[in-house]
Amino acid sequence: MGRQPCCEKVGLKKGPWTAEEDKKLINFILTHGQCCWRAVPKLAGLLRCGKSCRLRWTNYLRPDLKRGLLSEQEEKLVIDLHAQLGNRWSKIASHLPGRTDNEIKNHWNTHIKKKLKKMGVDPVTHKPLVSNPSDPPQSLQNHHQQKEEQSCSTSSADAAKTPSADNFIDSVLTEAKEEEDGTSCMANASLLETIEVMDMNSFCTDEVPLIDPSDILVACPPSSSISSSSSSYNNGGGGGGGGNFIQELQFPDLDWSYGEFGNSGDGDNQHSKPWDDDDFINWDFLVGSVDDKTLMLDPHPVNSCQRSALDQSSWTNELVQ
């Protein structure tokens, strides 16, 4: 069957989002929650297609997003998961709270791929990269040999496994790490333990709990970081932000279950709390907007999605602070 474009292309804006557009989208979702994406642009007064709005929200504006580079542990987890799942970025992202599939995909393509190749690992198969498959480099053969001889295996389950792509990556990563900073086998074991714990703590869509709105704390960055450039505004300097300007805010009790904040819309998010203190680093314009009175949160929500429990004035006051 033929498929129409996701939206009438005529008259719709493309390209980088402006602060004003972000404001509109955030404002809309804050007041109405997430509903039919196709209707969002119309209702929010945006000249974008619904798809673009959804993408902007899930990949950038969602308040529970972590910014900045993936940590070593996250990176390791991504590699492990990629070995199991392949390029199913949304599935991989579901194991990394606060990370989006797009972010992980980008990180994979720009960092991890290179790193693995450098280490002699095929980023696609997670097996040794060799010109002649029957003749792997000595160093790689050693990896397998050493791996089998290792007395400090990460788990009995691992030990029981036959050598796999996963194990190979583990050993290569372990060695690379040792070469890098001289950490011991025990240290790596603890790293892997941590990752296993992360794995155990991650959960899928169906396990996503609902949050008590009163538990939600939001960081409030300073308005001074507002940039006039859409792009620098978007990039935000890599997101190391947070830091000393953190203020805690009560967040309106929108009907946003964790599921709705799930990665790439599957609702598969797995946070013990939806937003970290470092969140909202890109929401500086929100504060600025309140300052200059351009952002008005609707004090009269029209459905159960909107906040009700929190006193409007205290919420606004805290936002302005």
User: Footprint of DNA on this chain (CB under 7 A)?
Assistant: 1-6, 13-17, 36-38, 48, 50-52, 54-56, 59-60, 69, 87-91, 101-103, 105-107, 109-111, 114, 229, 231-232, 234-235, 237-238, 263-266, 268
CB of 41 to DNA, least distance (A): 10
CB of 31 to DNA, least distance (A): 17
Give CA separation, 55 vs 61, 110, 149, 275, 305, in Å: 9, 21, 47, 19, 21
Q: Which is nearer to DNA, 24 or 143 (CB)?
A: 24
CB of 226 to DNA, least distance (A): 14
What interhelical angle do 312-320 and 284-291 show, nearest 10?
A: 110
* Three-state DSSP state, 121: strand
CA distance 164 to 38: 45
CB of 45 to DNA, least distance (A): 16
Contact between 316 and 290 (Cβ < 8 Å): yes
Place of tokens 């542990």: 73
Q: Which is nearer to DNA, 88 or 161 (CB)?
A: 88
Q: Which is nearer to DNA, 111 or 144 (CB)?
A: 111
* Three-state DSSP state, 102: helix
Structure tokens at 195: 């990752």
Give CA separation, 290 vs 8, 280, 287, in Å: 33, 15, 5
CB of 56 to DNA, least distance (A): 5
* Three-state DSSP state, 250: strand
Q: Which is nearer to DNA, 64 or 268 (CB)?
A: 268
Q: Which is nearer to DNA, 153 or 269 (CB)?
A: 269
CB of 69 to DNA, least distance (A): 6
Contact between 127 and 172 (Cβ < 8 Å): no
Q: Which is nearer to DNA, 136 or 288 (CB)?
A: 288
